[in-house]
Amino acid sequence: MNHVVVVGAGLAGVRSVEALRARGYRGRLTLIGEESHRPYDRPPLSKAVLLGDLDSTVVDSDLGALSVDLRTSVSAKGLREGALETTEGELEYDGLVIATGASPIRLRGEGAQYVLRTIDDALALRAAMVPKSRVAIVGAGWIGAEVATAARRAGCEVTVVEAAESPLATALGPEVGGLTARWYADVGIDLRLGVMVGSIDPGGLTMMDGSWIPADVVVTGVGVRPNVTWLAGSGIEVDNGIVVDEHLRTSMEGVVAVGDCANWWSRRFGRRMRVEHWDTALNAPETAVATLLGQCAVYDPVPYFWSEQFGHMVQYAGHHDGARLVLRGDPDTDRKWAACWFTEDDRLAAILTVDRPRDLVQGRRIVEGGQSLDVDRASDPSIPLRDCL
């Protein structure tokens, strides 16, 4: 293998070139990215950058020392076996890593709407959130909550609208997501649930019921779509992202995929998963690169993510679809609590923690180990989870 191309210069792309060199690859290595910036980290965008604590999140990686040919402001346009078509011409390759990520969904309407995906997005939104400005946020998911946190701290008047009956309903389910609704009220945010936006218009939101929400700033946080349209006609299988196996191998020889754009098979959970979180971008490249170099590796993590919102550290590990919920602590009286999900045989499938980092660390290990717990003891927050095995 003489030339490996990595398309997508986010964290997953950088970790891919680092892993290639660490595993002994000494051939040509080209990293292309559609943004003009050097590779940077995305999680701080909705946290430290939006709050004004950081202006840059450049990834600490010496690409020059790794002999990486970094090409910024270059986008992928098409693919055939052995050649990548880009906005700067064709690149031949022996091995290809696809790490093109995802793009925010935008809503219809003629009004201006901010999204939060790039460093430029974050800096522009931060500049717009001046004290007393009216900020309307569409979506009460992870991004919506973090933007609302920053907007309120900036002194804005904040309204959050959500089509579901609770915040975080898609990610956590309405019962657990509903427990976070009080956080909005505690900081003076107008949270409107079970309402849908008709269009984003100059000056605010027109709702489906015809009502009007005036706003100086509108932020859309209703999810992302994987960046895979450029693969149309390539022969690579695409279904909610790029379909890859447990080794992160695509349907095309010599091509692997990682990060937000990869829909991988999990042995652990017996299903396909596409996880749009930093932990995936950080760790999946090791497996993808090993596969590309002809080594045997399996990607089968316990998904993990975190969020900082309304003064709380919220962390989640596992996958809870089909599992039964048991609360650990009383969210009505305790600032610190957790939610545990159990399988039919009392194995811990997933855990969400609010300001309980020790529970997260122990719970994540238990999920990884596929171990069963004494459910009654696990519901008692005074008992360490490791003592509930």
pLDDT tens digits for 231-256? 999 999 999 999 999 999 999 999 99
- Same-domain check for residues 374 and 363: yes
Looking at residues 119-132, what average pLDDT do you find? Answer: 97
CATH code of the domain containing 24: 3.50.50.60
**Residue pair 317/341 in contact by the 8 Å Cβ criterion:** no
Q: Which of 220, 249, 273 is the last residue of a domain?
A: 220
Distance CA 153, CA 25 (A): 47
Looking at residues 101-110, what average pLDDT do you find? Answer: 97
Q: Mean pLDDT in the chain?
A: 97
Looking at residues 24-39, what average pLDDT do you find? Answer: 96
- Same-domain check for residues 28 and 112: no
Distance CA 373, CA 354 (A): 20
47-93 residue pLDDT tens: 999 999 999 999 989 999 999 999 999 999 999 999 999 999 999 99
294-325 residue pLDDT tens: 999 999 999 999 999 999 999 999 999 999 99
The verdict on residue 301 lying in a domain is: no
- Same-domain check for residues 112 and 259: no
Count up the domains in the chain and report the number: 3
- Same-domain check for residues 14 and 111: no
- Same-domain check for residues 96 and 119: no
Largest distance between two CA atoms of the chain: 62
Distance CA 359, CA 377 (A): 13
Structure-token pair, residue 362: 């122990």
- Same-domain check for residues 22 and 94: yes
- Same-domain check for residues 230 and 188: no
- Same-domain check for residues 118 and 210: yes
Q: How many Cβ atoms sit within 10 Å of the Cβ of residue 182? A: 12
Distance CA 259, CA 8 (A): 10
Chain CA centroid to CA 323, Å: 22
What size, in residues, is the chain?
A: 389
- Same-domain check for residues 187 and 236: no
Q: What is the pTM of this model?
A: 0.94
Q: What is the pLDDT of residue 355?
A: 98
Which residues constitute the domain of residue 113?
Answer: 106-220
- Same-domain check for residues 257 and 331: no
Distance CA 4, CA 256 (A): 11
Q: Pairing state of beta strands 102-104 and 224-226?
A: antiparallel
Q: Evaluate if residue 375 carries a pLDDT over 90.
A: yes
pLDDT confidence of 269, banded at 50, 70, 90? very high
- Helices 11-22/278-292 angle, 10° precision: 40
Q: What is the pLDDT of residue 193?
A: 98
Q: What is the pLDDT of residue 60?
A: 86
- Same-domain check for residues 284 and 316: no
Looking at residues 113-142, what average pLDDT do you find? Answer: 97
The verdict on residue 299 lying in a domain is: no
